[in-house]
Amino acid sequence: MNVITETKSDVSSLIDEALRERPDGILEMVAHKCGASLWQVFQRLPEGQAVATPGDRFEELWADLRTWGSVLFIVHTDDIVLECEGALPSGTSGHGYFNIHGDSPIGGHIKASNCTRIAFVDRPFHGRRSCSVQFLNATGNAMFKIFVRRDESRELLSDQVKLFEIMREKFRSMPILE
């Protein structure tokens, strides 16, 4: 076994152990604790909990996500977890960005060309089912995430869950980038 293989194996073992300890915990915390990327953590989740598609499908996915109505848009860095609820606005490509604009609290400029893969994540989170679409960059970490919203009883919105499942199946057959 060479050093690269051993290191990869060590990281995988650390991730597996962390997921056994807290299977419904925060995946960024697992990645940080194990010296791994979020993508490496996704690869160690139980079968079907993370399904990925190439990032070049960004605009097609964005268009589909716009049909969901109000979503939870999250940007998670080491310094902040920013949550914004609203409908995804339309977007256009220009000046190297996917520019989102419209009547929504969600707006700005996304470097869509940095998106290397998009993961559909369906897993327990703090004891409840959680469904999200996570846009990952070349380092394997999340640029941002879009979550299925919850109702006042903290249950996932069933219409959005259906749309999530349809979208996941639609893109499931596409190759996963390594």
Is the pLDDT assigned to residue 21 strictly greater than 90? Answer: yes
The percent of residues above 90 in pLDDT, for the chain, comes to 83
Report the C-alpha gap between 149 and 70 in whole angstroms.
Answer: 8
CB under 8 Å, gap of 24 or more: what pairs does 77-84 form? 78/32
Predicted confidence band at 176 (pLDDT cuts at 50, 70, 90)? low
- pTM exceeds cut of 0.85: yes
Residue 2 has pLDDT above 50, yes or no: no
